[in-house]
């Protein structure tokens, strides 16, 4: 019995030829599909490749028209590469090392339109309301309340106090009306008393006996008593007037207090806030910076693991297929070398409507072994939207502490319009961009981005009453800068935006607000004072009336007092006796 089956070799050869043929004819198509799937999984976005071309004999490969679709918009590519060509070093490949001596990437474009829609899984749209709220709070600052409107909806203490006293004054008025009528009778009484005194005068002249004196003194006593009663009444009335005057004075004081309270309270409630500034730069650039930063961090996070992949001692591969793939154990190499190296690369990027050329140097997945940091540089001059563009990044993982740095310098960049929605728009911008960002240990973020607006024209979009105010705020601002400071961890970056635009606008806003506050306070003061005046007028009127009563009472009082004095001096018992004595002496010839 034969041990070897030589026909089997023929079958094997035929099979090998068939498989080899299939491989040669379909390798490129297979690689295209594999690359699309693996890149799509790595980037977590749909990836399409138009063509994969290989020359196995010389280990040359080319990938053409790579489209990385936007997850949110199937008609948009977030990135597109027209051509990617590279060759592998065969000697290194024998040791499973992918060493690319020359890499050429041409036509890197971002945010391009797609001819055919990409297959995109639906995702929930994020809500973005923050900026709108901020704009609202800004415009709130400029809102001027109307004093009349405020007084319509606010309950004034002045009115409350005024009404309360109005009731009291009404009663007071009625009382004094009666009293006045009573007082008017005094005139008559005085007249009667005068007449009686005149009568007494005559009687005194005719005194003949003691009885006459007695009769007269009795009458005078009666008159004195009557006058004293009148005076007592007047005194009581005067006291009453004084009390009522005190009430009126208190009403006046209370009204004044109520007025002060209303003014203070309403000023506090409706006052325009002059404190703090406006965060315009945050409003305009906050979301955009966050978006750009999120995208940049996402790209960084995608690239970063490939720069340290070889540092792992054992490659852990998750079970993806129907069978476990296991782990590849690494051993000490006689000539250590990273698994993946791209020695040099030429790149061409389409950004800002211009072609920007770039170089890539020393990309490796284990810089500690390779000993050189990965460098990526883009530069261009006299682009259609800028005068000078320079971007340089270094991913240095050669030392224990890794430091990745990104530097940007753009001069005379004609940028798009920046807008605060429905508010103001900065047009015809020409700016200089400077940035220096560092990431330490792939975690700690630090650095800044400075946007220097060397020329800008603010255009007010808002057409309502606030439009004029906004115009005043932004008019003539044609230069400003925006400084964006980055810190914190890469997963939770802290973005601080500062700008002299804020200072400029805040200053103008404060001035505007101060004028508004003064106007508002004056108006409020006038309106409340008007209400107060209504009641104080009444009080003053009553006060004048009462004073009139008082004067009249005083007049009567004086009159009564002089009559009383007169009676006492001329018609009193003593006076009469003296008078008789004088008469007797006269008749006896003394």
| Residue 4 or 588 having the CB closest to other proteins | 4
Shortest Cβ 315–other proteins spacing (Å): 10
E strand or H helix at 345 = strand 340-351
Contacting other proteins (CB under 8 A), which of 327, 399, 421, 443? Answer: 327
| Residue 90 or 117 having the CB closest to other proteins | 90
| Residue 329 or 401 having the CB closest to other proteins | 329
Stretch that binds other proteins, among 7-15, 270-278, 428-436, 499-507 (CB under 8 A): 7-15
Residues 6+ apart with CB under 8 A from 184: none
Contact status: 2 vs other proteins (CB under 8 A): yes
| Residue 334 or 401 having the CB closest to other proteins | 334
Cα–Cα distance, 590 to 585 (Å, whole number): 5
Contact status: 75 vs other proteins (CB under 8 A): no
| Residue 215 or 315 having the CB closest to other proteins | 315
Shortest Cβ 97–other proteins spacing (Å): 9
| Residue 13 or 42 having the CB closest to other proteins | 13
Measured between alpha carbons, how far is residue 134 from residues 157, 391, 412, 450, 564 in Å? Answer: 35, 33, 30, 23, 85
Cα–Cα distance, 80 to 422 (Å, whole number): 34
Shortest Cβ 336–other proteins spacing (Å): 11
Contacting other proteins (CB under 8 A), which of 125, 320, 322, 463? Answer: 322
As a whole number of angstroms, the longest Cα–Cα distance in the chain is: 205
| Residue 322 or 590 having the CB closest to other proteins | 322
Residue indicated by tokens 């693996």: 38
| Residue 11 or 210 having the CB closest to other proteins | 11
Shortest Cβ 340–other proteins spacing (Å): 14
Cα–Cα distance, 153 to 146 (Å, whole number): 11
Cα–Cα distance, 418 to 476 (Å, whole number): 16
Cα–Cα distance, 97 to 366 (Å, whole number): 12
Contacting other proteins (CB under 8 A), which of 299, 324, 544, 584? Answer: 324
Burial class (CB in 10 A: 0-12, 13-18, 19+), 346: middle
Stretch that binds other proteins, among 60-68, 162-170, 327-335, 516-524 (CB under 8 A): 327-335
Contacting other proteins (CB under 8 A), which of 175, 330, 421, 530? Answer: 330
Cα–Cα distance, 417 to 420 (Å, whole number): 10
76: β partners: 113
Report the SS3 class of residue 95: coil
Cα–Cα distance, 280 to 286 (Å, whole number): 9
| Residue 9 or 232 having the CB closest to other proteins | 9
Contacting other proteins (CB under 8 A), which of 3, 133, 181, 401? Answer: 3
| Residue 129 or 313 having the CB closest to other proteins | 313
Site string for other proteins, 331-360 (x = CB under 8 A): xxxx--------------------------
Stretch that binds other proteins, among 3-11, 144-152, 283-291, 575-583 (CB under 8 A): 3-11
Contact status: 328 vs other proteins (CB under 8 A): yes
Output the CA torsion 532→534→535→539 (10° steps): 120
| Residue 22 or 180 having the CB closest to other proteins | 22
Residue indicated by tokens 């792992």: 312
Q: Tell me how many residues contact other proteins (CB under 8 A).
A: 27
Phi, psi dihedral angles at 118 (to 5 degrees):
-85, 155
Stretch that binds other proteins, among 102-110, 117-125, 288-296, 321-329 (CB under 8 A): 321-329
Burial class (CB in 10 A: 0-12, 13-18, 19+), 22: exposed
Residue indicated by tokens 């006689």: 334
Contacting other proteins (CB under 8 A), which of 11, 24, 30, 299? Answer: 11
| Residue 97 or 508 having the CB closest to other proteins | 97
Cα–Cα distance, 399 to 405 (Å, whole number): 14
Shortest Cβ 309–other proteins spacing (Å): 16
Contact status: 181 vs other proteins (CB under 8 A): no
Site for other proteins in 479-518 (CB under 8 A): none
E strand or H helix at 380 = strand 374-381
Shortest Cβ 56–other proteins spacing (Å): 14
E-only strand ranges, 521-588: none
Contact status: 590 vs other proteins (CB under 8 A): no
68: β partners: 47, 79
Residues 6+ apart with CB under 8 A from 287: 128, 130, 131
| Residue 2 or 153 having the CB closest to other proteins | 2
Cα–Cα distance, 85 to 82 (Å, whole number): 10
Q: What angle is formed at CA 478 by the lines to CA 477 and CA 484, rounded to 5 degrees?
A: 90
Site for other proteins in 90-119 (CB under 8 A): 91, 94-96
Residue 521, both tokens? 């306070």
Contacting other proteins (CB under 8 A), which of 326, 422, 530, 585? Answer: 326
Residues near other proteins (CB under 8 A) are 1-6, 8-9, 11-12, 91, 94-96, 322-334
């Amino acid at each position: 019995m034969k041990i070897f089956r030589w026909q089997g070799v023929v079958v094997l050869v035929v099979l090998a030829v068939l498989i080899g043929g299939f491989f040669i004819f379909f390798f490129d198509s297979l690689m295209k599909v594999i690359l699309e799937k693996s890149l799509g999984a790595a980037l977590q976005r749909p990836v399409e490749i138009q063509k994969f071309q290989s020359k196995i004999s010389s280990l040359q490969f080319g990938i053409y028209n790579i489209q990385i679709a936007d997850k949110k918009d199937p008609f948009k590519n977030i990135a597109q590469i027209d051509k990617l060509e590279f060759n592998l070093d065969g000697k290194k490949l024998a040791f499973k090392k992918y060493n690319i001596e020359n890499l050429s990437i041409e036509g890197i474009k971002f945010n391009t339109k797609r001819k055919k829609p990409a297959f995109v899984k639906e995702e929930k749209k994020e809500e973005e309301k923050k900026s709108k709220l901020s704009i609202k709070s800004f415009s709130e600052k400029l809102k001027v309340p109307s004093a009349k409107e405020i007084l319509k909806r606010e309950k004034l203490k002045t009115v409350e106090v005024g009404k309360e006293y109005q009731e009291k004054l009404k009663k007071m008025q009625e009382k004094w009306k009666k009293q006045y009528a009573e007082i008017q009778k005094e005139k008559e009484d005085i007249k009667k008393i005068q007449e009686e005194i005149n009568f007494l005068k005559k009687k005194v002249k005719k005194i003949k006996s003691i009885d006459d004196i007695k009769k007269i003194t009795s009458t005078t006593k009666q008159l004195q008593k009557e006058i004293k009663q009148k005076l007592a009444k007047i005194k009581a009335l005067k006291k009453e007037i004084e009390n009522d005057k005190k009430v009126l004075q208190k009403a006046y004081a209370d009204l004044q207090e109520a007025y002060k309270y209303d003014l203070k309270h309403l000023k506090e409630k409706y006052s325009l806030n002059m404190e703090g500034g406006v965060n315009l730069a945050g409003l305009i650039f906050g979301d955009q910076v966050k978006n750009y930063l999120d995208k940049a961090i996402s790209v960084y996070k995608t690239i970063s693991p490939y720069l340290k992949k070889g540092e792992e001692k054992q490659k852990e591969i998750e079970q993806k297929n129907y069978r476990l793939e296991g782990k590849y154990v690494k051993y000490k190499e006689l000539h250590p070398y990273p698994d993946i190296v791209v020695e040099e690369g030429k790149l061409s990027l389409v950004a800002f409507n211009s072609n920007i050329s770039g170089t890539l140097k020393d990309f490796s997945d284990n810089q500690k072994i390779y000993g050189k940091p990965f460098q990526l540089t883009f530069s261009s001059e006299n682009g259609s939207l800028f005068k000078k563009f320079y971007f340089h990044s270094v991913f240095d993982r050669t030392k224990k502490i890794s430091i990745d740095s990104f530097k940007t310098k753009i001069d005379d960049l004609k940028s798009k319009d920046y807008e605060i929605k429905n508010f103001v728009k900065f047009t015809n911008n020409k700016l200089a961009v400077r940035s220096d960002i560092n990431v330490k240990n792939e975690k700690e973020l630090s650095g800044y981005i400075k946007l220097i607006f060397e020329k800008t024209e603010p255009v007010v979009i808002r057409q309502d009453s606030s439009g004029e105010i906004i115009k005043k705020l932004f008019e003539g601002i044609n230069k400003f800068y925006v400084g964006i400071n980055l810190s914190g961890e890469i997963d939770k970056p802290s973005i601080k935006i500062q700008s002299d635009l804020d200072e400029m606008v805040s200053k103008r806003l404060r001035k505007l607000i101060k004028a508004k506050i003064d106007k508002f306070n004056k108006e409020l003061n006038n309106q409340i004072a008007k209400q107060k005046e209504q009641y104080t007028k009444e009080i003053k009127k009553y006060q004048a009336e009462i004073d009139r009563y008082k004067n009249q009472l005083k007049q009567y009082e004086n009159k009564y007092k002089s009559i009383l004095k007169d009676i006492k001096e001329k018609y009193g018992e003593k006076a009469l006796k003296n008078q008789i004595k004088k008469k007797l002496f006269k008749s006896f010839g003394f």
